[in-house]
Amino acid sequence: MASKKLIVLGSVNADHVLQVDSFPRPGETVTGHGYKVLPGGKGANQAVAAARLGGEVGFVACVGDDDFGSRMIKAFRDDGMDTRAVMAVPDMPTGVALIQVAANGENSIAIAAEANASLTVEALEQHLEYLGGAGMLLMQLESPIETVELAARTVASAGGKVVLNPAPAQPLSDDLLFNLAMITPNETEAEVLTGVTVSDEDSARQAADILHGKGIETVIITLGAQGAYCSGPDGAQLITGFSVKATDTTAAGDTFNGGLVVALQEGKAMDDAIRFAHAAAAISVTRLGAQTSIPNRGEVEEFLT
- What SS3 state is found at 224? helix
3-state helix, strand, coil in the chain (%, to 5): 40, 25, 35
In the complex, what is the shortest distance from the CB of residue 82 to ligand ATP, in angstroms, rounded to a whole number?
25
CA separation (Å) from 153 to 128, 134, 136, 171, 177? 11, 12, 13, 18, 10
Q: Which amino acid is residue 289, in one-letter code?
A: G
With b meaning 16 or more CB within 10 Å and e meaning fewer, what string describes 159-168? ebbbbbbbbe
SS3 at position 286: coil
- Upstream peptide bond of 168 is cis (omega within 30 degrees of 0): yes
Pick the closer one to ligand ATP by CB: 95 or 227: 227
**Does 109 interact with ligand ATP (rule: CB under 6 A)?**
no
Residues 158-177 that bind ligand ATP (CB under 6 A): 167
**259 is an interface residue for ligand ATP by CB under 6 A:** no
Q: Which is nearer to ligand ATP, 113 or 225 (CB)?
A: 225
Based on the shown chain and the rule CB under 6 A, indicate whether residue 304 belongs to the binding site for ligand ATP. no
The answer to the question of residue 281 lying near ligand ATP (CB under 6 A) is yes
Least Å distance, CB 278 to ligand ATP, is: 4
**Which of 10, 55, 144, 253 is in the footprint of ligand ATP by CB under 6 A?**
253
* Residue closer to ligand ATP (CB basis): 115 or 167: 167
Q: Which residues are bridge partners to 100 per DSSP? A: 18, 108
In terms of CB distance, is 50 or 87 closer to ligand ATP?
A: 50
Backbone phi and psi for residue 67, each to the nearest 5 degrees, phi listed first: -60, -40
The residues near 32 (Cβ < 8 Å, ≥ 6 apart) are 18, 19, 20, 100
List alpha helices for the chain, DSSP H: 42-52, 67-78, 121-125, 128-132, 145-157, 174-178, 187-194, 201-213, 252-265, 270-285, 297-304
Stretch that binds ligand ATP, among 61-69, 86-94, 123-131, 246-254 (CB under 6 A): 246-254
Kindly state whether residue 186 participates in binding ligand ATP, applying the rule CB under 6 A. Answer: yes
The reply to whether 49 sits near ligand ATP by the rule CB under 6 A is no
The answer to whether 254 is a known catalytic residue is yes
| 59 vs 256 by CB, closer to ligand ATP | 256
Residue nearest to ligand ATP as judged by C-beta position: 253
Q: Which stretch binds ligand ATP (CB under 6 A): 17-25, 67-75, 243-251, 295-303?
A: 243-251
What is the CB-side half-sphere exposure of residue 204 using CA atoms within 13 A? 26
144 versus 253: smaller Cβ distance to ligand ATP: 253
Instruction: Specify whether the CB–CB gap between 97 and 16 falls below 8 A.
Output: yes
Positions touching ligand ATP (CB under 6 A) are 167, 186, 222-225, 227-228, 241-242, 244, 246, 249-254, 256, 278, 281-282, 285
Catalytic residue annotation:
254
